Structure formats: structure tokens, C-alpha cells
Amino acid sequence: MDPSDVHLPPMKDLTIANITPNTILINSQGPSSRLTYILERLVSHLHDFARETRLSTYEWRAGIDFLTAVGQTCSPVRQEFILLSDILGLSLLVDSIDHPKPPGSTEGSVLGPFHSHDAAAMQHGDAVSHDPQGEPCLVVCRVADVHGQPIPGVKIDVWETDSTGHYDVQYAEREGPDGRCVLRSDVDGAFWFRAIKPVPYPIPHDGPVGQLLKRVHRHPYRPAHMHFMFEKEGWDHLITALYLRGDPYETSDAVFGVKQSLVVDLHPADEETSRRYGVTEGSLVLKHDFVLVTSEAAWELRDERSREALAALGRKVKLLHGLPVPDVD
């Protein structure tokens, strides 16, 4: 951009006392009111953080080096920044704000850094995992609305680790997807597949995020779980997971994903289940009903909660496309 085309207020003699309003002012020249608001709040909180902690130059440099290392650790199959967001609780917070759930609907959980877009489309009853060491587990589910009516044609992404606690993308010799699939719910909202019993595992802790966990005396483990993601036009996007009850890390998940409503039990297959789904009697079965919310209902609830939260903070803003922007009227 040609500097002669930009009309900026004069900036000089900036101090601790006036750097914040001046930075906000110079960042407020663009056409996007949403970007203006985001930068205003970011600068305000970032500057206040530096003031409240009396941040030293050494610490500022250490923070820069840490974020640089996080970026350098990222790859097409490893997202260290998502991992950082997860362990700081930001991922769950953003999902909870952007996808509020009314009573009776399925709560969300974290996406995690190991979702991929190359999972194969499978038919009901197909095997998701080909790990011979994994304990077989039949997964039988249904997706419905808050009134119990089935939702057909929902795209469902599923992914889990192998029996050693590793996702397929963590293997350098990976030749294709395993432990993951894409299904569609049938006319009754049902879907089912063959998996293996989920196991607890550590998140990748050989990088900067792992070093941070070690510095603050936190373990890197996640409880045994299986990921699910639901998509269909007209319905609010749902990212969630099911967690096995009694796991040693059920109450100390490194990425804060566990919610009581998402904790499930495994049961042995009875004779009817064995006959209907073609599995060994006594083998493990996971059954669960997922409940989706319409996009309209989620939008209304998000607006309502946004107005309440912003009013409590005393912020003079208005909502534009469901997101707060400065109210200059």
C-alpha cells in the first residue's frame, strides 16, 4: 500500500501511558469493523498483560522464541498451534462460545491436532481400524434432533488411535488412512461400524508444547476416547468425542475435553446384538445417541449469550452477523 494513500494520525513520544490508545487508533483505519474490534481487544489485553506481569525483555524474547518453535514444529500432519490452544483451554472455550448447546443436545469437545481430510467413505458395518492388536469394539449410534426425530444423511467423521495410542498420521511410513472413516446416517439416523477399544495416550510432548507442560508440572495424557464430527446443511456443526468411564485420566485430560455427558460405558454384546451385527457374543459394544441442533437455534442461542456476556462486561458493541463490532452510532 502506498503510504501517500493512507491518512494516519501523528505518532510520536509514545509511553507506557499512551501506547495502547495510539496503537488501537492506528489499527482502526481499515474497512472491517470486526477486525477493528478484534485488534482493539487484542491490543488492550496484550498490553495490560505486559503491564500486569511487568514483562521483562528476556521473557518477551523467550515468548517469541517459544512461538517460533511452535510454528517450526508444525507440519502437514502435526498442528502444534492447535495443541498449544488445546492445553491452554482456548480450543474448548472457542467451541463453547461459537457452538452453544441447549439442554438435551450433545455437547462439543476438542477437535485435536490429528483430524485429517483423507478418511475413506465407508458403509455401515465396515472396519475402521485394521490394528490386529486392538480389542474389537462394535460402535452402534443414532443421530437425532432435540425432539428425538432421526436425521438422515448426516456426514459423520470418525477417528481414533491404534492400540498403542498413536494416530495413523503419526507414523512416518503411513501409506493411507487407518483408524478413521466417513459415514452417512441412514433413514433412521443410525450408523454403525467396527472399531477397537479406545486407549489412553499422551499428546505429542516431544516439542515446545510438551516442554511447557513439563515446566508447569502437567502430564500430557488424554483419557481413552473416540472422535466424532457431524455435518449437514441446516444443522449446527458438531465436533465431539466419547470418553470411557473409569479411565485413569478421566478427570485430568491434558486438553480439557471431558464432559460428564460424553462419558460412556462399554457393554458385552448379547445374543441379539451378536446375531444382528455379526460380532462375537461377549465382545465389546459402544452404543450412543447423538443429538444435533438446527443452525437457526444455535444462531439464536449464540446471539442471546453474546449479548448477555458483553452486557456483563460493560462493552458498548453491537452484533453484526452474530459477532460483536464497535457500536459507534
155-192: pLDDT as tens digits:
999 999 999 999 998 988 888 899 999 999 999 999 99
Could you give the angle at which helices 80-87 and 208-215 cross, rounded to 10 degrees?
A: 20
Pair 101, 108: CB distance under 8 Å: yes
Q: Which residues contact 64 (CB under 8 A, 6 or more apart)?
A: none
Q: Which residues contact 32 (CB under 8 A, 6 or more apart)?
A: none
3-state SS assignment for residue 233? coil
Residue 7 clears pLDDT 80, i.e. is over it: no
pLDDT for residue 13? 84
The pLDDT tens digits of the residues spanning 43-77 come to 999 999 999 999 999 999 999 999 999 999 998 87
d(Cα 108, Cα 129) in Å, to the nearest integer?
Answer: 24
The candidate with the shortest Cα–Cα distance to 197, out of 171, 226, 220, is 226
| 51 Rama class: left (phi>0) / alpha (psi -120 to 50) / beta | alpha
Residue 103 clears pLDDT 90, i.e. is over it: yes
The pLDDT tens digits of the residues spanning 73-91 come to 998 878 999 999 999 999 9
End-to-end CA distance of the chain: 29
d(Cα 312, Cα 91) in Å, to the nearest integer?
Answer: 23
The pLDDT tens digits of the residues spanning 298-325 come to 999 999 999 898 888 888 888 888 888 8
pLDDT for residue 2? 67
The pLDDT tens digits of the residues spanning 118-168 come to 999 999 999 999 999 999 999 999 999 999 999 999 999 999 999 999 999
Mean pLDDT of the region 193-205: 97
Residue type, 207: G
Give the mean pLDDT of the chain: 94
pLDDT for residue 112? 87
The residue count of the chain comes to 329
3-state SS assignment for residue 320? strand
d(Cα 74, Cα 1) in Å, to the nearest integer?
Answer: 31
The pLDDT tens digits of the residues spanning 201-258 come to 999 999 999 999 999 999 999 999 999 999 999 999 999 999 999 999 999 999 999 9
